[in-house]
Amino acid sequence: MTPPDSVGPNTRAVHSEGDGEYKHRAVSCPIYQTSAFSFDSAEVGASLFRGETQGFIYTRLGNPTTEALQNTIAALEHGSSALATASGMAATSTLLVGLLKSGDHVVCSHAVYGPTRVLLERELVRFGIRSTFVETSDTDAVRAALEPGTRLLFIETPANPTLTVTDLAACAELARARGALMAVDNTFASPYLQTPLDLGADVVVHSLTKFINGHSDVVAGMIVLRDRDLHKRLRSALTTLGGTVDPHQAWLVLRGTKTLGLRMAQAQASAQKVAERLRGHKAVAWVSYPGLPDHPHHERARRQMRGFGAMVCFGPHGGYPAVQRILNRVRLCTLGVSLGGVETLIQHPATMTHASLSDEARAAAGIGPDLIRLALGIEDAEDLIADLDQALAEG
């Protein structure tokens, strides 16, 4: 069944795969692990290739398992359609290559996933595509950066890893006034906590690897679109570039999606408790979490999101030597660079996920040498706090 628009996100996650009945009346979507699909006749095959008949031809072009995942994420994001990709960067790359041409200009968040910035700064510039990086949480800075040739405003909010929060509705209005599209990387919030299309965005991208899949066992991405015409353009780019998702990956993510709300609720409850504990710890110099009242964008996050998320960043007294000591002393928190799984992960962006950025770019984005990024999992908060306490202890 396809649920009505009035249902909540947990119901959407379970019941939005599509209207088709699976063979043998399977309750769970099967894995259609096939590269190609047979045709009833030569005439049907030709009709499929002409686009006159709906159906499956070749898994790079479409697959029933992948389609079920696309339907589910589109429903969660309140989009018209979606395109599943082999990774989060395949989603971002397809979006940028599919939309932009030589001479186009992009405005992008300073604090953004490291490879996204590398793609814009080092790769697309070779094809005549310019980018300007600004603090998009400052709406005036966004306004000043937009040019007549700006084709795309690309925002990540909450930002990776600084957790600054951009006013999406205000930025969407600025982009529309310039005739530009606005894309939002919604990986940190997930559609359980934030639906950017409702706030004026044209496109949402995800690393499904993270909270949506939620089990640290698959790499995948997604593009969700408001407009079906834009879907046609990006689908053509995706199938030509070949960055489509494997059916088994799609099935794993689809299974994880069904528990997104339950996992996110637990993880963000722990994030709130951990952030409050860190804020009062004598070994901690600063804490950034949108759920703390002293976060500069706390009220904006309250208005724009349905929760404050499961990411916390903090800086210890003592700078980078203290960072190293903490990372080497944690026992329950896992030292690793992903996020959104059932286990809590801790890492140092300046030397890990954002190491490829220049010193100047990291400084402009607010990614200092003392910044530790903590991605909360579903463990009991008290156990995580105890682990951090022992890692922060003197001696």
Question: Hey, what are 375's tokens?
Answer: 């991605």
- What pLDDT does residue 5 have? 78
Per the residue annotation, which of 104, 167, 185, 246 is the catalytic one?
185
Q: How many helices (H) and strands (E) does the chain have?
A: 15, 12
- What pLDDT does residue 15 have? 86
Which of 3-7, 167-171, 228-232 is the most confident on average?
Answer: 167-171
Question: Hey, what are 284's tokens?
Answer: 């901690």
Q: Nearest-5° angle of CA 6, CA 225, CA 184?
A: 100
Residue 259 C-beta-side C-alpha neighbours within 13 Å: 15
Its pTM stands at: 0.95
CA quadruple 135, 138, 141, 145: dihedral, nearest 10: 60
Residue 230 burial (CB count, 10 A): 19
Mean pLDDT of 354-366: 92
Q: How far apart, in Å, are the Cα atoms of 5 and each of 2, 225, 258?
A: 9, 17, 17
Asked whether the beta carbons of 155 and 136 are under 8 A apart, the reply is yes
Indicate the average pLDDT of the chain. Answer: 95
pLDDT for 1 beyond 90: no
Q: Nearest-5° angle of CA 118, CA 121, CA 126?
A: 115
Mean pLDDT of 96-121: 96
pLDDT for 271 beyond 70: yes
- Residue 19: pLDDT band (50, 70, 90) is low
User: What are the structural domain ranges in the chain?
Assistant: 9-257, 260-392
Q: Is 376 helix (H, G, I), strand (E, B) or coil?
A: coil
Q: Which amino acid is at 48?
A: L
Please give the share of the chain, as a percent, with pLDDT higher than 90: 90
How many angstroms separate the CA atoms of 156 and 100, rounded? 19
- Give the model confidence (pLDDT) of 62-98 as tens digits: 999 999 999 999 999 999 999 999 999 999 999 999 9
- Answer yes or no: 246 catalytic: no
Mean pLDDT of 185-198: 98
Mean pLDDT of 197-207: 98
Q: What is the DSSP secondary structure assignment for residue 245, as one 8-state letter?
A: P
Please give the share of the chain, as a percent, with pLDDT higher than 70: 98
- Residue 31: pLDDT band (50, 70, 90) is very high
How many angstroms separate the CA atoms of 278 and 374, rounded? 11
Q: Which among 279, 290, 298, 289 has a CA at the least distance from the CA of 388?
A: 279
Q: How far apart, in Å, are the Cα atoms of 164 and each of 158, 211, 231, 327, 372?
A: 5, 19, 29, 23, 15
Q: Residue 362: phi, psi to the nearest 5?
A: -65, -40
Across-strand partners of 375? 311, 345
- What pLDDT does residue 395 have? 62
- Residue 23: pLDDT band (50, 70, 90) is low
Asked whether the beta carbons of 207 and 73 are under 8 A apart, the reply is no
Per the residue annotation, which of 117, 210, 277, 373 is the catalytic one?
210
Domain range 260-392, CATH class:
alpha beta
Question: Hey, what are 35's tokens?
Answer: 């590269």
Per the residue annotation, which of 113, 289, 370, 387 is the catalytic one?
113
- What pLDDT does residue 255 have? 97
- Answer yes or no: 58 catalytic: no
How many angstroms separate the CA atoms of 354 and 2, rounded? 40
Asked whether the beta carbons of 353 and 295 are under 8 A apart, the reply is no
- What pLDDT does residue 190 have? 98
- Answer yes or no: 50 catalytic: no
| Residue 270 host element (H or E) | helix 260-279
CATH fit for domain 9-257, picks 3.40.50.80, 3.30.160.110, 3.40.640.10, 3.10.20.600: 3.40.640.10
Mean pLDDT of 354-374: 93
Q: Is the peptide bond preceding residue 290 cis, with omega within 30 degrees of 0?
A: no
- What pLDDT does residue 295 have? 98
pLDDT for 18 beyond 90: no
pLDDT for 21 beyond 70: no
- What pLDDT does residue 20 have? 61
Give 363's contacts (C-beta < 8 A, 6+ positions apart): none
How many angstroms separate the CA atoms of 164 and 301, rounded? 9
How many angstroms separate the CA atoms of 19 and 333, rounded? 41
- Which is more confidently placed, 29 or 379? 379
- What pLDDT does residue 16 have? 86
- Answer yes or no: 226 catalytic: no
φ/ψ region of 162 (left if φ > 0, alpha if ψ in -120 to 50, else beta) reads alpha
- Give the model confidence (pLDDT) of 322-340 as tens digits: 999 999 999 999 999 999 9
Per the residue annotation, which of 22, 58, 60, 329 is the catalytic one?
60
Mean pLDDT of 108-133: 96
Asked whether the beta carbons of 372 and 321 are under 8 A apart, the reply is no
- Give the model confidence (pLDDT) of 284-321 as tens digits: 999 999 999 999 999 999 999 999 999 999 999 999 99
How many angstroms separate the CA atoms of 219 and 52, rounded? 33
